[in-house]
Amino acid sequence: MSTRTENKRAVIELFARVSANDIDGAMALVADDVSWRVPGKPELLAMAGLYDKKRLRYLFDVMRSQLQQGLAMTVVHAIAEDDCVAAEVEGSGELKNGRSYRQQYHFMIRVRDGKIATVHEYFDTLHAHDIWIRR
């Protein structure tokens, strides 16, 4: 099996574990020195910014606490080249506040030694704000 195929499988497995509410399993796929970038301006979208592994775990836990049954994340397309995987992902979940989260993401992910090492995440920040933050 090629490294590209293995990298692609690691990314698909990450989103499968998040979808299964297996945050411990998802975090096991993430490098200890991960750098995960969430788009937006922190003054407008509280979740925006750069995350290390500890802060990323906290973000996943906070999101999970606000969802009725977790966040389903479906990989629609994934393309691997060298150590990078580009993934188009659809996410959905029902929040405890009654709102429905329906998001389309693009992730540019670098995989190192089988672990998720760098993530640049892109999504509709206005929708995220309206669903997660707006009162």
Tens digit of pLDDT for each residue in 23-59? 999 999 999 999 999 998 888 888 899 999 999 999 9
Tens digit of pLDDT for each residue in 62-78? 999 999 999 999 999 99
Tens digit of pLDDT for each residue in 14-24? 999 999 999 99
Residue pair 18/60 in contact by the 8 Å Cβ criterion: yes
